[in-house]
């Protein structure tokens, strides 16, 4: 093997590289993964320890000579890198276009919800995220120190216990009722805050849509018609919907509304807690005390209200099983919605 290495060394030293193709051929013949020197190293592995001591030095010297030959030739030919097909650029190919951003999935769902309610005459209203206790609790029939306030673990503003981060967008409805005489048909959209543990199903901040309709002779039947229309417009006309009796301080009677779980098609999964149903919103007839607090005569007017979480709707629409994905800004996750945004 020593004689073969000696012969190869003389051959390499005698080669004259005059152009780029010759340099490529030299590199492929001697230094490539399937080249002569690589084959010698494979043979070297089977030699005895005594033979390796002698052959190893000569084989490493051979590889160094070949590498130096290639480097020197590349320098003489004024080539920055060893030319290969992979480095060649086809200038006739179309260029890459600029990367275009897209809407966040929550914004996409929010726009769908707003569009659905606008079809039936609901106006969009907005309000502040920091509000007084009156708008978040007092006007909504939450008596001071009443256990019902514990239903929503609230973030209060430091140094001012009367101000807090709103725990629901119903606060916007109160300010609207105070400044706008009936009839009122509106939805409020925005971010809300609650002191809850962060998990796959809950977060300390999320987004809500609250709606209300106040006029003369408004009934629970009107509420059901609106919600049936909205949920089937959003999830499809074949979506199963059910109402369950519930309790909210600001509505009476009250109900929670479920739809068939879109992730498991009603078969049962972790999101629906194996029930096949997912709660999507709460609703009810506005309590007369709330109307009175907003200076609306409950003897003359009645109304209904409802509220839903945008994250929960988005999880159902896009079959997402972890609410934390909406706020962690993973580009791989967000890029999936580029076609819709």
Q: Where are the domains of the chain?
A: 2-87, 105-337
Percent of the chain with pLDDT over 70: 93
298-327 residue pLDDT tens: 999 999 999 999 998 998 888 888 899 999
Average pLDDT over residues 161-185: 92
Of 107-111, 183-187, 202-206, 336-340, where does mean pLDDT reach its minimum?
Answer: 336-340
Which residues have a Cβ under 8 Å from the Cβ of 287 and sit 6 or more positions away?
A: 141, 249, 250, 251, 252
SS3 per-residue string spanning 121-176:
CCEEECCCCEEEHHHHCHHHCCCCCCHHHHHCCCCECCCCCCEEECCCCHHHHHHH
Query: Is the pLDDT reported for residue 169 higher than 90?
Result: yes
Contact yes or no for 106/311 (Cβ under 8 A) = yes
CA-closest candidate to residue 166, choices 179, 178, 156 = 156
224-278 residue pLDDT tens: 999 999 999 999 888 899 999 999 999 999 999 999 887 777 788 776 788 889 8
**Which tokens in the block code for residue 81?**
């890198």
Query: Is the pLDDT reported for residue 82 higher than 50?
Result: no
CA distance 230 to 183: 20
59-76 residue pLDDT tens: 788 888 888 888 888 887
Q: In the predicted model, what is the mean pLDDT of the chain? A: 86
Annotation: CATH topology of 105-337: BirA Bifunctional Protein; domain 2 (3.30.930)
Measure the CA angle with vertex 98, ends 97 and 104; round to 5°: 125
Q: What is the pLDDT of residue 152?
A: 66
Of 69-83, 102-116, 181-195, where does mean pLDDT reach its minimum?
Answer: 69-83
Query: Is the pLDDT reported for residue 84 higher than 60?
Result: no
Query: Is the pLDDT reported for residue 88 higher than 50?
Result: yes
pTM over 0.95: no
CA distance 300 to 288: 11
CA distance 225 to 208: 21
């Amino acid at each position: 093997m020593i004689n073969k290495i000696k012969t190869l060394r003389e051959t390499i030293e005698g080669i004259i590289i005059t152009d780029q193709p010759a340099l490529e051929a030299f590199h492929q013949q001697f230094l490539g993964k399937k080249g002569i020197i690589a084959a010698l190293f494979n043979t070297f592995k089977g030699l005895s320890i005594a033979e390796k001591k002698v052959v190893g030095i000569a084989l490493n010297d051979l590889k160094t000579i070949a590498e130096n030959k290639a480097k020197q030739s590349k320098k003489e030919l004024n080539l920055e890198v060893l030319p290969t097909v992979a480095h060649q650029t086809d200038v006739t190919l179309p260029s890459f276009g600029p990367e275009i951003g897209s809407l966040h999935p929550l914004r996409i769902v929010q726009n769908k919800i707003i569009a659905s309610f606008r079809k039936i005459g609901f106006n969009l209203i907005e309000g502040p995220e920091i509000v007084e206790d009156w708008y978040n609790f007092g006007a909504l029939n939450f008596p001071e120190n009443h256990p019902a306030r514990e239903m929503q673990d609230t973030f209060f503003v430091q140094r001012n216990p009367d101000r807090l981060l709103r725990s629901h967008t119903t606060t916007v409805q109160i300010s609207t009722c105070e400044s706008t005489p009936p009839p009122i048909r509106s939805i409020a959209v925005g971010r809300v805050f609650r002191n809850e543990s962060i998990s796959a199903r809950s977060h300390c901040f999320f987004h809500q849509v609250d709606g209300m309709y106040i006029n003369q002779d408004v009934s629970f039947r009107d509420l059901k018609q609106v919600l049936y229309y909205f949920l089937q417009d959003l999830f499809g006309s074949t979506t199963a919907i059910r109402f369950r009796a519930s309790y909210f301080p600001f509505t009476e009677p009250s109900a929670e509304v479920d739809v068939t779980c879109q992730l498991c098609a009603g078969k049962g999964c972790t999101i629906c807690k194996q029930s096949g149903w997912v709660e999507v919103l709460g609703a009810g007839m506005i309590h007369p005390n709330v109307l009175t607090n907003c200076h609306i005569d409950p003897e003359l007017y009645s109304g209904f209200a409802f509220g839903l979480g945008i994250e929960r709707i988005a999880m159902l629409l896009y079959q997402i099983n972890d609410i934390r994905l909406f706020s962690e800004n993973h580009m791989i996750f967000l890029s999936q919605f580029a076609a819709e945004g």
